[in-house]
Amino acid sequence: MQDDFVANLRLLCGYYPSIAEVCRRLQINRAQFNRYLSGRYRPRHRVMQRICALFGVEAHELDLPHAEFRTLVQAGRDARAAASGLPAAWPGELLARGQEGMARYLGCYFEYYRSMSQPGRLIRTLVCLEARDEGVVYQRTERMRVRPGARTCHNRYHGLALRLADRLFLVDHETLNGNEVTQTILFPSFQSQVHRLTGLKLGVADNSERMPCCVRVVYERLDEQVSMRRALSQCGLLAEDDPAIDPELRDRLRNDIAPGERHFRARH
């Protein structure tokens, strides 16, 4: 993993004119930075935050296998180069109101729902919520391998989370290919500790059909001791009857409509 970290950090530095320029922007001593590039030391949390901010990556992504990371970085650069501009700013009053009570939901979750592009399969993704100046933002990472031996496909979504009138609203856009916007609405948790959140997710099937779909979704909070590398390794497509999935969680993912229901509704 340390070898991958070093290779990934060197790749990012290659987008700048020199290592000296990188050190100047990071406000890091050249000798100290050389220790990171040699693999002798790993950056502490505060330095890691500055590195991620400069290069526009997440800390856990720096530990990905180098070939996988190189593909991720190049796809992200291509998407940014093709972007025509930034979306209009959200109303400040709405953003301010939407941050009330969000602190308890910060952290990382496994997201489960029935795959829109692979009917009959479940999908597990990684969602990480954090507080920044603009509000509570999040990254949602998908890793899918349709069949054994096939290339792993990635989708990475960046979004904004709000809490309005006892509902959590998450809106994001796909940043690698720039081909999707999704919305998720969740019930809040009224327990002392946030464990699971349920609701509905609206998106588009990631295949040639591009079919708009709505599915029930469950967010399961991760223990803070679980590493991002380990969490990402568990993401992907799952069999509906996978014995590792809690039966109660599987039951919450059923996309059925009960007698008398006139709409497809979320369920607690």
Same domain flag for 164 and 237: yes
Give me 190's structure tokens: 């009224």
263 within a domain of the structure (yes/no)? no
Same domain flag for 128 and 230: yes
C-alpha span between 115 and 205 (Å, rounded): 8
The C-alpha R_g of the chain, in whole angstroms, comes to 20
Same domain flag for 117 and 242: yes
Identify whether the C-beta of residue 189 lies closer than 8 Å to the C-beta of residue 79: no
267 within a domain of the structure (yes/no)? no
pLDDT per residue, tens digit, the chain (268 aa), is 578 999 999 999 988 878 888 898 888 899 999 999 998 889 998 899 889 888 888 888 899 999 888 888 876 665 554 443 334 456 777 888 898 999 999 999 999 999 998 889 999 999 999 988 778 999 999 887 666 666 667 788 999 999 999 999 999 998 877 788 999 999 999 998 999 999 999 999 887 888 999 999 999 999 888 888 888 889 999 999 999 899 999 999 999 999 999 999 998 8
Same domain flag for 78 and 97: no
258 within a domain of the structure (yes/no)? no
Same domain flag for 43 and 140: no
Q: How many domains does the chain have?
A: 2
- State which residues form the domain around 28: 2-82
CB-count burial class (<10 Å; 0-12, 13-18, 19+) for 90: middle
Same domain flag for 96 and 57: no
C-alpha span between 151 and 164 (Å, rounded): 40
CATH number of domain containing 151: 2.40.128.120
